[in-house]
Structure 1
Amino acid sequence: MRRILVTGGAGFIGSNFCRYLMRTYTDIEVVNLDALTYAGNPSNLDGMTGPYQFIHGNICDAGTVRRALMGVHAVVHFAAESHVDRSIQSTAEFVHTNVEGTRVLLESACAVGIDKFVHVSTDEVYGSLGEQGVFRETSPIEPNSPYSASKAASDLLARAYFKTYGLPVCITRSSNNYGPYQHPEKLIPKLITYAIEGRKLPIYGDGTNVRDWMHVLDHCRAIDCVLQRGTPGEIYNVGASNEQSNVDIAKQILACLGLDESLIEYVPDRPGHDWRYAIDASKIMQELGWRPRVDFHRGLAETVEWYVQHGLVG
């Protein structure tokens, strides 16, 4: 039985990935290492059955990481501080967790020897696009927020551990995710929960900032493809070619709930707000055979219904 260490497995994408692995495989044991910060919710993993172990600990603690890695064949590294607004207010936690924590994990993985290390990153490391163009794996790294800068630094460390020490690292960079179990500080669950409560939906600036939205289960499938078949040393962009502006997202959520667009409220833009992200995912499609499966409108409607049924998370 293969033993997979998932860091940050009580968070949004990590918990969905743990559930995905347990549903998909009978020969994998999942070890979930999570510090349970505000964004890590143990209830995200309620009902997990099968070969599963939870370890409460921080990736910056080398002793805890070494213990978690005992008998592990592969690592999927989600654990990170990830909210841009919080990174603007206070950078220290982001640098400590995202850079130092990743270094500790990489060093420990080298020491014990593992078959694959998947470092899960973000398209935000590429910076911002204008009206044209897409991010490719060869695009320059030009982060614009403390969060994305810390993730870019962790990406470079991961690459260095492959080049210098031969650690079998793959890096994934995904577009924006949505779906169940996401913390309500993020755009889609925030807008859904505000709408359910009858509150104004705050939209930065004029609402025209564009993101490529992908359902979290499509992302989980992509990470699994990279875990199983990805070439060490390679970067794989993951996106659904589904560009939506923030204000259009708000309008669609209100439509799902049968509410009026007068609930939309434009608020002052945040500093350094990237205008547009768009991913070219042709590499992972051609080399690993991955394709997004979840239609956005169906996925968004199902996500709205999930929050109606479950309320706030986190």
Structure 2
Amino acid sequence: MQRVVVTGGSGFVGAGLVRRLLSMDWQVDLLLRPGFATWRVPARQEKLSTHVVDLTDASSVETLLHRLRPRYVFHLAAHGAYSWQTDAAAIAGTNLEATRTLALASLKVNVEAFVHTGSSLEYGRKRHAPSEDEPTEPEGAYAISKAAATAFCRDVARQSGVRIPTLRLYSVYGPWEEPRRLVPSLLLHGMAGKWPPLANPDTARDFIWVGDVIDALIIAATRPLADPGAIFNIGTGRQTRLAEIVDLVRGITDCEAEPHWQSMPDRDWDTDIWQAETRHAATELGWNAQTTLRTGLQQTIEWLRKDRDRLDFYRSSLDLSPASSG
């Protein structure tokens, strides 16, 4: 039996990973912070166990992992990626201290792999697609803490020989994403025949389907690596301007309204160049993104429409009444 520990399973990517692992008949132990949000966590089932633990408490984490004895650990818990998460202590505690505590505890129970999720923001502002061996120039508490955690994981992996890869994720979207994020907001507003406030139409991102990210996470855990502390960029290798994704959503939702560009003020992190260099992931993991943005958007809207209660929850999060939505 494959037994795995997952942190961050009450979050966006973690929710999808947990469901994928359960569909593969793996035993999943989900480590959740006190006061976690419940809406993404799967209903009780035989091969899913949940454990509430403070990931910065080394003694509690070590005791729990000694009891569970997982083969792999997927560390997705993070804080500060959203604009409303600004507590510097929480950002450092979750992204750096919890990573340190969990990684060291994982070594003590002889896990085969500890998969750490990083962020493309670790690179800072680049005018090209950065490769994994380029120096990082992070800006802000979140990016700095993620870059520090990546450096720590890389060092521990090379000293111990245990696989501790870091996957630097680009702009992930798909089912279970936070309702206020760009993609669900665009889709839900488009269904209602209008647009949310929008930034500069030339703002660019590399949008990557969550299912493709989950593929990469599982491959990184189970595949032998020449470098146990390897870093991989996980994106499509193609950037999309805000104007382009709005056009795609317009076609999918039949929204006839005209967008009001720059009705949202420019943000510090907006840029017209943001894309992944994915050759290393292709070569070492045998992984490439498989899902086009159009297909991913279509699958996301189908997922939203599949469950009426879920759709109403997403609408209410954006103050979009069902009566005004298609």
Mapping of residues 58-137 of structure 1, within 5 Å: 58-69=54-65, 70=67, 71-87=69-85, 89-130=86-127, 133-137=128-132
2:74 and 2:116 in contact (8 A); partners too = yes
Query: Is 2:142 aligned against 1:147?
Result: yes
Cα separation, 1, equivalents of 2:44 and 2:243: 36
Alignment partner, residue 15 of structure 2: 15
Say whether the 8 Å CA contact 2:194–2:257 is kept in structure 1.
no
Q: For the structure 1 residues 97 and 15, does the alpha-carbon distance in structure 2 shift closer, same or farther, using more than 3 Å as the test?
A: same
Which of 294, 299, 304 matches 1:297? 294
Q: Does 1:216 align with 2:171?
A: no
Native 8 Å contact 2:201 2:261 kept in 1 = no
> Displacement of 1:253 after TM fit?
1.9
Q: Which runs of 5+ in 2 are unaligned?
A: 318-326
**Bigger share in strand:** 1
How far is the alpha carbon of 1:43 from its aligned partner? 3.4
CA deviations on 1:156-181 (whole Å, 9 max, x unpaired) are 11112223444431111122111101
CA RMSD of aligned residues (A): 2.3
SS of the aligned residue for 1:93 comes to helix
Q: Please, which of 245, 256, 262 is the counterpart of residue 249 of structure 1?
A: 245
Q: Percent identity?
A: 26
The answer to whether the 8 A contact 1:36-1:42 is kept is no
1:268 matches 2:262: no
Say if 1:288 and 1:163 are closer, same or farther in 2 by CA, change over 3 A. closer
> Structure 1 residues 56 and 305, CA, compared in 2 at 3 Å: closer, same or farther?
same
Alignment of 1:38-77 (within 5 A): 41-47=37-43, 49-69=45-65, 70=67, 71-77=69-75
Deviations 1:190-233 (A, max 9, x none): 222344455641222x2312111111001101111111104212
Q: CA deviation at 1:29?
A: 1.2
Q: 2:280 aligns with which of 275, 283, 288?
A: 283
Q: Which residue identity lines up with residue 97 of structure 1 in the other structure? A: T
Q: CA deviation at 1:258?
A: 1.3
Q: By how many angstroms is 1:5 displaced?
A: 0.6
Residue type of the alignment partner of 1:64: S
Name the residue aligned to 2:6. 6
After TM superposition, the structure 1 = structure 2 runs for residues 24-39 of structure 1, keeping only pairs within 5 Å, are 25-26=24-25, 28-35=26-33
Code of the aligned partner of 2:253: L
Q: Give the superposition deviation at 1:300.
A: 0.6
Q: Residue in 2 aligned with 1:170? A: 165
Displacement after TM superposition at 1:56 (Å): 2.2
Q: Is the 8 A contact 1:123 1:135 kept in 2?
A: no
